[in-house]
Structures are given as structure tokens and as C-alpha cells.
Amino acid sequence: MDNKPFLLDMYLRQDKTYPQGQYPFNLPAVRALAQMDALAFHPKITYFVGENGSGKSTLLEALAVNLGFNAEGGTRNFHFSSNDTHSDLSGYLRVAKYARPKSGFFLRAESFYNTATYADSIQLDNHPLYGGRSLHKQSHGESFLSIVHHRFEGRGLYLLDELESALSPKRQLEVLARLHELAEQGAQFVIVTHSPILSAYPDALIWEFSRTGIRQTAYEDTEIFRTMNMFMENPRKRVEEWVGISNV
């Protein structure tokens, strides 16, 4: 399928004054975005990878809110707030869009419990789009998989924040296969991840976030790949070196 992307790129508006030195404008990702013409999105899958604290999830949250999703997750029809802590960064973003998606979902590991509770409260627990069971009556990983398999569909836009947090390596591979299936049907994904498995999709755009900025990079050049590759070459030796434990 010739995918027509829903999202083309995003950038910080130049017609607004940013509160310098204040959160979230002091985050490396936001400072870097302010210096870029635009951050482009791949028609299929775009990854945000990099160290904790660099601003990946904050930027994804701002993108989600800008697009009309609930800050804690769910669809555009999810209207709840357990703890209103999201930043006002969304109002400073300009997002270039090609078309309107058929469906969409913001899956956020950090606040997924609240999303599942809201789904139950509006009697979606037995809905086939959520696997036919309450998300709270499944394990954390099972509930993630239920949404990916039953709620996601072709020609949809999906923003995923640390999906791997509840998934075994085998299930991450299962999800990767599902993402490929959906991408071939015209779905578009923006994914924040620390997983060298989940970020391995070959036809993707990877933005690596660091304390010094944002750069486009190849999968094999990402820190998560290089670290895991080095570890798996000789796990015992790496544990001895990094952790200071001998005779492991």
C-alpha cells in the first residue's frame, strides 16, 4: 500500500515567546526542536529513542494533546483527568498533517491504569475493540496486547509511549509483527521506546534524543542497540565490568 501519512512534521511556533529556563522548555528535546526547521515523521513508523530525562515522552505527550488525544491516554473520545500534570507544550507546537486518520489511540504506559479504569467506567470492558474483557481483568501485558490486536486498525494514527514496559521479549516481537501488518494497511505510528527489539523495524525513521540534541540515526548506531549488542556478546564480562560483581 502507498501510505499517505497523517503526520508530516512538527516544529515549535515562532509567533510565541517561550518561557526560557522553565519546564518543559528547558528539556534537551524542546531546546533542540527550537533549533530545527522541523522534526519529520515517517509514513509508517517513527521512533523516539534515547536516555531518560531527554524529553522524549514529554514531546510525545505534547504531540498527543495537540492532536486532540487525552493527556493520560486513550482515544480522542476519552475525557478524564486523574492528575492534571501535563505541560502546556502542546500549544507551542505546529503539526503539519496530510489527512485525518480513521482511528487513533495514545497508549501511555505511565498512566495506563487510569486509561483502563476510564474504559471500564464507560462500559467498554466487554467491547470487542478491547478484547471482550475488562482491561483490569487481564495482566498488564495482556491488556496492552488486547489494545494492539483489537483496537488498532489500518489507516489509524497511534502514539505509543514505552509499550515494551509490560511485554516480554517474545511479546515485543509479536507486537512488531502486528505493527508491520497495520503499517502495510496504512497505519502510522510514533513510538517512544527503550527497547532494542521494538525499535528494530527496518522501514522506519529513528530520532535519537540526548542531552545535546536530537539527531536522525540508523538503528545500529543507536545507544540502545550498541549497549545491548555489547552486553550480549559477553554478558558475564559486562556485568563484572559495569556492576563490579566478580564470579557471576
Question: pLDDT tens across 170-185, in order?
Answer: 999 999 999 999 999 9
Q: CB–CB of 178/149 below 8 Å?
A: yes
| Residue of 119 and 54 predicted with greater confidence | 54
Q: What percent of the chain has pLDDT over 90?
A: 55
Least confident of 57-61, 147-151, 155-159, 196-200: 147-151
Span 126-148, average pLDDT: 70
Nearest to 110 by CA among 65, 158, 73: 73
Distance CA 1, CA 35 (A): 34
- Of 22-36, 86-100, 173-187, 232-246, where does mean pLDDT reach its minimum? 232-246
Confidence of residue 79 (pLDDT cuts 50, 70, 90): low
End-to-end Cα spacing for the chain: 50
Strands 204-210 and 45-50, by their bridges, are parallel
pLDDT at residue 100 greater than cutoff 70: yes
More confident residue, 78 or 158: 158
At residue 8, does pLDDT exceed 50? Answer: yes
pLDDT digits (tens, 9 = 90+) for 9-51: 999 998 888 887 888 999 999 999 999 999 999 999 999 999 9
Q: What is the pTM of this model?
A: 0.88
pLDDT tens digits, one per residue of 43-61: 999 999 999 989 999 999 9
Calculate the average pLDDT of the chain.
85
**Is residue 158 within 8 Å of 104, Cβ to Cβ?**
yes
Strand ranges (DSSP E) for the chain?
Answer: 7-12, 39-40, 45-50, 93-97, 103-108, 156-161, 188-192, 204-210, 213-216
Q: With pLDDT > 70 as the criterion, what percentage of the chain qualifies?
A: 81
- Which pLDDT belongs to residue 128? 58
Looking at residue 1, its pLDDT comes to 46
**Percent helix, percent strand, percent coil in the chain, to nearest 5:** 40, 20, 40
Residues in the chain: 248
* CA 106/CA 88 separation, integer angstroms: 17
The topology (CATH level 3) of 7-113+154-170+183-217 is Rossmann fold (3.40.50)
The domain segmentation of the chain, as residue ranges, is 7-113+154-170+183-217
Asked whether the predicted pLDDT for residue 114 surpasses 90, the reply is: no
- Residue 5: its pLDDT value, please? 87
Q: Does the pLDDT value for residue 247 go beyond 70?
A: no
Flag whether pLDDT at 81 surpasses 60: no
**Is residue 80 over pLDDT 90?**
no
